[in-house]
């Protein structure tokens, strides 16, 4: 073994390391960009979940966007009004009104209410099951598959599969939107957390077809719309939908619905 060769190699590596370190140090100073101190302050008051529900890559990304004027001070759905006020104080602006949202699964076709065309035995993932014939084993091709892709996506443990369908815990939900993205059937939407009534169905099939597949599916009859004095309900593609900004929470729609497809949230 040539000792001199080993020593030479070590010295070369050491010198190269020193030169690289000097270069990186110089580059860091030469290309350093001063960040706005408000970014760190805003990041400090944000929840730190880095869930991406705001549409930016983590809390620091949202903080940078707020400082740059590309995002509102109430842009964090997890922090809600309390965090929005703190961010607004840092930015020296008014927070404005903030409506707390919560996820809602537009399906009530659980194991008792919805029929099945066959039994599926495979990977328990909604995205995989949605690729099966007719979009899954349920007779209704629009219905919740119940394999919990939304559950796995939720960072707040706010959604669980109960009797074959996903159910949201509105108190725990932070409206990050992860479950909305994860659902291959596009059944989940964000609605005001203080909503009292919502149509728990997504089927666009005609009434007679719906009744063959689900006991609580919306048949698009329009009775709810006719009985809504606030004109908060529209029926399109054989499916009713409640405009929560117009709804006065009177309950006439749920009372008159012949299929009981309109869900009432418990206080």
Q: Where are the beta strands (DSSP E) in 122-163?
A: 159-162
Mean pLDDT score across all residues of the chain:
91
Task: For the chain, give percent helix, strand, coil, nearest 5.
Answer: 35, 15, 50
Q: Which helix H or strand E contains 216, and what residues bound it?
A: none
Give the pLDDT of residue 31. Answer: 65
User: What's the rounded Cα separation, in Å, for the pair 161 and 139?
Assistant: 19
In eight-state DSSP terms, residue 170 is: T
Which one is predicted more confidently, 267 or 153?
153
pTM of the model: 0.78
User: What's the rounded Cα separation, in Å, for the pair 128 and 46?
Assistant: 35
Q: Which domains does the chain have, with CATH numbers?
A: 37-91 (1.10.15.40), 101-264 (3.30.70.20)
pLDDT digits 0-9 by tens, 204-261: 999 999 999 999 999 999 999 999 999 999 999 999 999 999 999 999 999 999 999 9
User: What's the rounded Cα separation, in Å, for the pair 165 and 168?
Assistant: 10
């Amino acid at each position: 073994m040539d000792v001199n060769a080993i020593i030479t190699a070590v010295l070369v590596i050491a010198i190269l390391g020193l030169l690289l370190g000097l270069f990186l140090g110089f580059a860091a100073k030469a290309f350093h960009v001063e960040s706005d101190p408000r970014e760190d302050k805003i990041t400090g008051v944000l929840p730190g979940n880095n869930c991406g529900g705001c549409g930016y890559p983590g809390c620091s990304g949202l903080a940078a966007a707020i400082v740059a004027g590309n995002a509102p001070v109430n842009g964090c759905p997890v922090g809600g009004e309390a965090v929005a006020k703190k961010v607004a104080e840092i930015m020296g602006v008014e927070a404005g009104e903030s409506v707390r949202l919560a996820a809602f699964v537009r399906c009530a076709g659980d194991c008792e209410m919805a029929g099945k065309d066959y039994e599926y035995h495979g990977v328990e993932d909604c995205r995989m099951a949605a690729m099966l014939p007719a979009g899954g084993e349920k007779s209704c091709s629009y219905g919740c598959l119940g394999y919990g892709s939304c559950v796995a996506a939720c960072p707040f443990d706010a959604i669980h599969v109960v009797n074959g369908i996903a159910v949201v815990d509105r108190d725990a939900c932070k409206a990050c939107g992860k479950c909305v993205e994860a659902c291959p059937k596009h059944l989940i939407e964000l609605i005001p957390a203080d909503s009292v009534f919502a149509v728990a169905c997504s089927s666009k099939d005609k009434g007679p077809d719906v009744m063959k597949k689900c006991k609580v599916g919306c048949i698009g009859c329009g009775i709810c719309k006719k009985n809504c004095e606030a004109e908060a309900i529209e029926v399109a593609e054989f499916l009713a939908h409640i405009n929560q900004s117009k709804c006065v929470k009177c309950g006439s729609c749920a009372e008159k619905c012949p299929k009981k497809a309109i869900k009432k949230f418990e206080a």
